[in-house]
Amino acid sequence: MKLVLFDLDNTLLSGDSDFEWAQFLIERGVLDREVYEARNQAFYDQYKAGTLDIHEFLDFQLKPLSRHPRAQLDTWHAQFMQEKILPIINRKARELVDRQLREADLLAIITATNSFVTTPIAREFRVEHLIATEPEQNGGEFSGKVAGIPCFREGKITRLDAWLKQRGASWAGVKESWFYSDSLNDLPLLERVSNPVAVDPDPTLQAHAEKRGWPIISLR
């Protein structure tokens, strides 16, 4: 089986959907700019530096979901897709995904960003399978908490193994595996696959990829 995995933010997207979602809510006055903008930037900087406390960040990112009805959130998200996401999806990313959809036996986007934000983005790429951090829901509304293990760093491997098991598969049955990512935070999963690919990588991943002889590509 050929398994192909894509990171999303700053890989398939020329930007970060987590960061942009918070900025979108700030711009609409849903979140207080003075309170949230500096924290949003600080968390983003920590992520890029590899120092992010994922649980602290998820508390920041998921709490706003619990304060509004799902219908309102979905309306905002449709606007968010048009204003923030479609402009950061470029032709090269679409072409790469389309090619791998034809060639792979199984393909998924695997991302630390929560599934509320990312499900419509995966749909835009025509990718059926999404492995993402899951926000807890009660009766279809968000609680503001995370459900299960965040899909971040080593958690991506744990979530991937669980996803394969749910499909009646296992890592032992994967003969050829690919993972495309930009981030040092994805080194655990990049080290696991047979074909790691650094995409517009951050400096740490760039140095690691050069040392290991991994392919380095740009989708920008």
Count Cα neighbours of 218 within 13 Å in the Cβ-side half-sphere.
2
- Closest CA relative to residue 124, chosen from 171, 160, 79, 89: 89
9 is a catalytic site residue: yes
- Residue 6: beta bridge partners? 109, 180
Catalytic site residue 202?
no
* Catalytic residue from among 9, 182, 186, 202: 9
Q: Which of 7, 16, 182, 202 is catalytic?
A: 7
H-type alpha helices, 115-218: 115-124, 154-166, 187-192, 203-212
Q: Are 206 and 216 in contact (CB under 8 A)?
A: yes
User: β-strands 129-138, 141-147: how paired?
Assistant: antiparallel
Residues designated catalytic: 7, 9
